[in-house]
């Protein structure tokens, strides 16, 4: 594929999602990874586009993956617009032709059974992968579950273990990571050599990561909740136990969250500007997912 064609493809992808989210978006020009190899621009993360909270759309190498993006809302955090949710449910616009839908856990700011179920019913191409608790919720809450059941893959490793599967010609490692008492998994995608790690809401403790040796994986992009930058042990996890080439922080509350606890927290942080500045002191090269329909920003 010629560079000019790659640039055109990139614009179409991002413009399509921006339209689906009903917001203006004019990210800088840049290539998407080419088929058969890694991104021609080392460290380029623009094939990752923000949906909301921890939700991302990844489109590269002719594949589309949605991770933690099919939900409605939870107070205080970014949520998909009504237009974006409708596009997800109807598998149209940027959400047409999705190959793989992943959910790290069943909390309402990461997963909604009706949204995911509607998408799977509208998009016979898609396979859904998650842990048992999420799969059970989908079976109970999806209105037309019998139509999609054959494309729901439940993968639940024991705590501290991983299971590797191949879905839609993509390598997916499912990592059982502790998140309080909630059944939570992380996902490590291998997209023809491009490795993307999504941590869900996992606890940022060394004990949670010791067994995985992720630092040996050569991870290109780690998507981590912002609180991994706020205490020393979690920072150590990012630096020593994940050791990704690029860290991208998300799950960042809104500037004026409609939740009293988060409102106080964000005031203490100095809003999003203060929070991102604090993170930058620890991780100067960090990127952030803040604007729906856009790739990560610095």
How would you write the pLDDT of the chain (298 residues) with one tens digit per residue?
443 333 333 333 444 444 444 333 323 333 343 433 444 335 688 899 999 999 999 999 899 999 999 998 878 899 999 999 999 999 999 999 999 999 999 998 899 999 999 999 999 999 999 999 999 999 999 998 999 999 999 999 999 999 999 999 999 999 999 998 899 999 999 998 999 999 999 999 999 999 999 999 999 999 999 999 999 999 999 999 999 999 999 999 999 899 999 999 999 999 999 999 999 999 999 999 999 999 999 9
Residue 298: inside a domain: no
Query: Which pLDDT does position 73 carry in this prediction?
Result: 82
Residue 293: inside a domain: no
CA proximity to 258, closest of 84, 82, 79, 69: 79
Which pTM was predicted? 0.86
Token pair belonging to 135: 């799969």
Residue 296: inside a domain: no
Q: Tell me, rounded to whole angstroms, the distance of Cα 226 from its chain centroid.
A: 13
Query: Which pLDDT does position 43 carry in this prediction?
Result: 63
Radius of gyration for the chain, computed over Cα atoms and rounded to the nearest angstrom: 18
Residue 184: inside a domain: yes
Total of domains in the chain: 1
Residue 143: inside a domain: yes
Token pair belonging to 61: 């190498």
- Structural domain of 251: 3-26+45-288
CATH number at residue 228: 3.60.15.10
Residue 274: inside a domain: yes
Residue 36: inside a domain: no
CA proximity to 230, closest of 286, 291, 290, 159: 286
Residue 31: inside a domain: no
């Amino acid at each position: 594929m010629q560079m000019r064609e790659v640039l055109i493809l990139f614009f179409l992808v991002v413009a399509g999602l921006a339209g689906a989210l009903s917001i203006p978006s004019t990210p800088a020009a840049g290539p998407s990874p080419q088929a058969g190899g890694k991104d021609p621009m080392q460290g380029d993360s623009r094939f990752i586009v923000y949906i909301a909270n921890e939700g991302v759309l990844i489109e590269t190498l002719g594949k589309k993956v949605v991770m933690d993006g099919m939900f409605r809302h939870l107070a205080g955090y970014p949520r998909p617009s009504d237009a974006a949710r409708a596009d997800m449910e109807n598998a149209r616009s940027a959400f047409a032709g999705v190959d793989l839908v992943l959910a790290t856990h069943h909390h309402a700011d990461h997963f909604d059974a009706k949204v995911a179920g509607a998408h799977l019913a509208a998009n016979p191409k898609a396979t859904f992968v998650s842990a048992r608790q999420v799969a059970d919720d989908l079976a109970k809450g999806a209105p037309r579950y019998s139509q999609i059941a054959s494309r729901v893959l439940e993968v639940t490793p024991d705590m501290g273990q991983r299971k590797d599967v191949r879905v839609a010609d993509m390598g997916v490692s499912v990592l059982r990571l502790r998140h309080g008492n909630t059944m939570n998994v992380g996902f490590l995608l291998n997209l023809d050599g491009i490795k993307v790690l999504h941590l869900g809401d996992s606890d940022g403790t060394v004990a949670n990561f010791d067994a995985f040796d992720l630092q040996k994986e050569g991870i290109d992009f780690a998507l981590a909740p912002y609180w991994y930058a706020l205490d020393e042990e979690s920072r150590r996890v990012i630096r020593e136990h994940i050791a990704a080439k690029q860290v991208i922080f998300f799950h960042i509350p809104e500037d004026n969250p409609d939740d009293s606890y988060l409102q106080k927290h964000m005031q203490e942080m100095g809003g999003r500007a203060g929070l991102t500045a604090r993170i930058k002191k620890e991780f100067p090269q960090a990127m952030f997912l803040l604007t729906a329909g856009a790739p990560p920003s610095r």
